[in-house]
Amino acid sequence: MSSAKPASIDATVELLKNGEYIADRSLATVLYLALKLGRPLFCEGEAGVGKTEIAKVLAATLKRPLIRLQCYEGLDVSSAVYEWNYARQMIEIRLAEAQGVQDRGQLESDIFNERFLIRRPLLQALEPHAEGAPILLIDELDRTDEPFEAYLLEVLSDFQVTIPELGTVKAAQTPIVIITSNRTREIHDALKRRCFYHWVDYPDLKRELEILKVKAPGASERLSRQVVGFVQELRKVDLFKSPGVAESIDWATALSELDVLDLDPKTINDTLGVLLKYQDDIQRMQGTEAADILRKVKADIAAQPLG
């Protein structure tokens, strides 16, 4: 059975925490509103800050089915909403011919029948589910083109789609919709206005440490502190792609697998590929610059050990 939606903002923070997601209060507030008022949540932010994760955690903790629509350029109704199973329809026509069915109206309703309907994520999300309203994750919306965005506008305001041959399908329960965007393109205001907007930022030092404690339990306290300090400093450098939370989790896990207890410049050089994904960035950070940052981080830790 599904769990009930959280009753307050504090309960939302708690809920996410149970799903091993350390959220700041701003995110919890927006999420609580989205759940309570049944309106979509629009999350924007750099890659790897945990936008998609919100939906997954929510599905796990509320025990709802997660329906994911991964967006890409050229995504259209037939791969996002529904499609007819043409091969089976053709067979049906042949069979009808063989049986000598003459009534065209009969044939039409036989062919465009729910049996031959292939349901894609958006349609699935509107159907009744035993566990309660499902969670619909529309991932990386910025990758589609404007026409699909416009179509989505219609779906998200009325929660219904129209299939010309069958009629209108209206949502049994309003699904919980989470939309993410990496901002490779500006999403139209009209769509955003229907949602609660949230910019998912990089976490601060304290919260990132908490995240590592939960997500990379293998890493020692000391190592985690150094990793977070280093990554936080790295984000201040003008890089083509700053490391996200996902990267710092990966790095901490990788380092603990390598039995590293204390960061040193050589280890950083060897494992920098986990943190930075562009050759220019890696080249720039390798050597003295990384060593300088590490020295600064260690000095900071010595100056104010975390209480």
- Out of 20, 103, 108, 158, name the contact with other proteins by CB under 8 A: 108
Q: Determine if 257 is a binding residue for other proteins (CB under 8 A).
A: no
Q: Determine if 196 is a binding residue for other proteins (CB under 8 A).
A: yes
Q: Determine if 280 is a binding residue for other proteins (CB under 8 A).
A: yes
E strand or H helix that includes residue 42 = strand 41-44
Binding flags for other proteins, 67-106, as an x/- string (CB under 8 A): ------xx-x-x-----x-x--xx--x----------x--
Q: Determine if 9 is a binding residue for other proteins (CB under 8 A).
A: yes
State the nearest-atom distance from the C-beta of 210 to other proteins, in Å.
Answer: 18
Q: Determine if 199 is a binding residue for other proteins (CB under 8 A).
A: yes
- Residue 10 or 131: the one with the smaller Cβ distance to other proteins is 10
Would you state the structure tokens that stand for residue 231, as one six-digit string? 């990554």
Q: Quickly count: other Cβ atoms within 10 Å of residue 238's Cβ.
A: 7
Q: Beta strand pairing status for 176-181 and 41-44?
A: parallel
Tell which residue, 263, 272, 273, has the closest CA to residue 295. 263
SS3 233: helix
Q: Determine if 217 is a binding residue for other proteins (CB under 8 A).
A: no
Q: Determine if 153 is a binding residue for other proteins (CB under 8 A).
A: no
- Out of 16, 21, 44, 228, name the contact with other proteins by CB under 8 A: 44
Q: Determine if 154 is a binding residue for other proteins (CB under 8 A).
A: no
Looking up tokens 């025990």 gives 63
Q: Determine if 238 is a binding residue for other proteins (CB under 8 A).
A: yes
What CA–CA distances, in Å, run from 185 to 83, 152, 207?
A: 28, 16, 29
Beta carbons of 193 and 157 less than 8 angstroms apart: no
Q: Determine if 113 is a binding residue for other proteins (CB under 8 A).
A: no
Q: Classify residue 34 by its DSSP letter.
A: H
Q: Determine if 30 is a binding residue for other proteins (CB under 8 A).
A: yes
- Out of 193, 235, 266, 295, name the contact with other proteins by CB under 8 A: 193
- Residue 21 or 32: the one with the smaller Cβ distance to other proteins is 32
Alpha-carbon dihedral of residues 68, 29, 7, 131, nearest 10 degrees? 0
- Residue 65 or 199: the one with the smaller Cβ distance to other proteins is 199
Q: Determine if 183 is a binding residue for other proteins (CB under 8 A).
A: yes
Beta carbons of 42 and 192 less than 8 angstroms apart: yes
- Out of 184, 303, 305, 307, name the contact with other proteins by CB under 8 A: 184
Tell which residue, 179, 164, 38, 74, has the closest CA to residue 122. 179
Alpha carbon 146 to chain centroid, angstroms: 20
Instruction: Please report, as a single letter, which amino acid is at residue 252.
Output: A
Segment lying near other proteins (by CB under 8 A), choices 23-31, 204-212, 218-226, 249-257 = 23-31
Q: How far apart are the C-alpha atoms of 291 and 129, rounded to whole Å?
A: 54
What CA–CA distances, in Å, run from 31 to 10, 59, 136, 224?
A: 11, 13, 14, 28
Which residues sit at the interface with other proteins, rule CB under 8 A? 8-9, 25-26, 29-30, 32-33, 36-37, 44, 73-74, 76, 78, 84, 86, 89-90, 93, 104, 107-108, 111, 145, 147, 183-186, 189, 192-193, 196-199, 238, 240, 280
